[in-house]
């Protein structure tokens, strides 16, 4: 894989998809439909998926592409693959809360090694560079020219007072029970893959997810966090979270900065 080309293509497609999403987000109204699993989908999800999929297939025709909005891709298997959630945080989008992202990632032998997370309503863009290091780009964002890249890295956590981030739409009692095992200085909620990015930038130390996710929800954020020095492990045994699993479904997991003294479930 040409990582310079990959980084450029993923970034450009994320920005273009973000423009399309915001055009719909700022319209007077948009239709909300339900998928077979009763999760919501909008024209923004579909338009962004069309744009990203076409761009990736044109640039990398020999690389397997897995994308949330194309159910036929969910049965594909490959050692290395591209994986896309064109609009992560659809509920945030529908409720116009802003915490939604465009996620594009590349997985090698079960490990997300490159990714881009773009939050168009918040003007934040996180990317794993060709060198494997993660950065936050400073806007305004130009399609053809990468702007100022600020290297990001995880915090040095203080276990006497941790900064916790958890799901905004799925923060249930099981999540609260697990968070309560720690000494917490501050706890915040965020939507979509932004939670990984907050750990990656040091704005949070720990993100536990005690709930269902799919690999397209997490791969890009996982790559960004890894490139900033963080880790993502399974909730049950604290082994690394891997990718390419059956139907691309994740177990519960914990994303964190090294130094956090992880608690058992």
Q: Which of 10, 58, 21, 64 is nearest to 223 (CA)?
A: 10
Residue numbers in the known binding site are: 68, 85, 87-90, 217
Residue numbers in the known binding site for Mg(2+) are: 68, 85, 87-88, 217
User: Could you tell me if residue 238 is left (phi over 0), alpha (psi between -120 and 50 degrees) or otherwise beta?
Assistant: left
Q: What is the secondary structure of 213-227 as a DSSP string?
A: EEHHHHHHHHHHHHH
Alpha helices in 190-240 (DSSP H): 194-200, 215-227
Element holding 46 (H helix, E strand): helix 43-59
Residue numbers in the known binding site for substrate are: 68, 87-90, 217
Q: What one-character DSSP code corresponds to residue 144?
A: S
Cα distance from N-terminal residue to C-terminal residue, the chain: 38
Convert 112-127 to b/e letters by CB count within 10 Å (16 or more is b).
bbbbbbbbbbeebbbb
Cβ neighbourhood burial of 253 (10 Å; 0-12, 13-18, 19+): buried
């Amino acid at each position: 894989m040409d990582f310079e080309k990959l980084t450029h293509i993923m970034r450009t497609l994320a920005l273009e998809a973000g423009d399309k999403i915001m055009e719909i987000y700022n319209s007077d109204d948009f239709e909300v439909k339900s998928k077979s699993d009763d999760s919501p989908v909008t024209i923004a999800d579909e338009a962004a998926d069309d744009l990203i999929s076409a761009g990736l297939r044109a640039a990398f025709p020999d690389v397997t592409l897995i994308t949330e909005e194309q159910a036929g891709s969910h049965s594909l298997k490959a050692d290395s693959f591209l994986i896309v959630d064109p609009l992560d945080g659809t509920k945030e989008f529908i409720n116009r809360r802003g915490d939604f992202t465009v996620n594009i990632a590349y997985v090698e032998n079960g490990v997300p090694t490159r990714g881009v997370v773009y939050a168009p309503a918040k003007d934040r863009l996180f990317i794993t560079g060709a060198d494997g290091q993660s950065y936050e780009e400073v806007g305004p964002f130009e399609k053809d020219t990468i702007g100022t890249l600020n290297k990001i890295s995880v915090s040095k956590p203080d276990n006497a007072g941790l900064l916790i981030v958890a799901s905004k739409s799925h923060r249930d009692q099981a999540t609260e029970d697990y968070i309560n095992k720690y000494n917490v200085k501050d706890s915040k909620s965020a939507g979509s893959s932004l939670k990984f990015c907050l750990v990656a930038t040091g704005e949070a130390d720990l993100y536990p997810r005690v709930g269902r996710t799919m690999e397209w929800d997490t791969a890009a954020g996982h790559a960004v966090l890894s490139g900033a020095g963080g880790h993502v492990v399974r909730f049950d045994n604290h082994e690394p979270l891997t990718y390419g699993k059956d139907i691309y479904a994740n177990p519960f997991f914990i994303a964190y900065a090294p130094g956090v003294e992880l608690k058992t479930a």
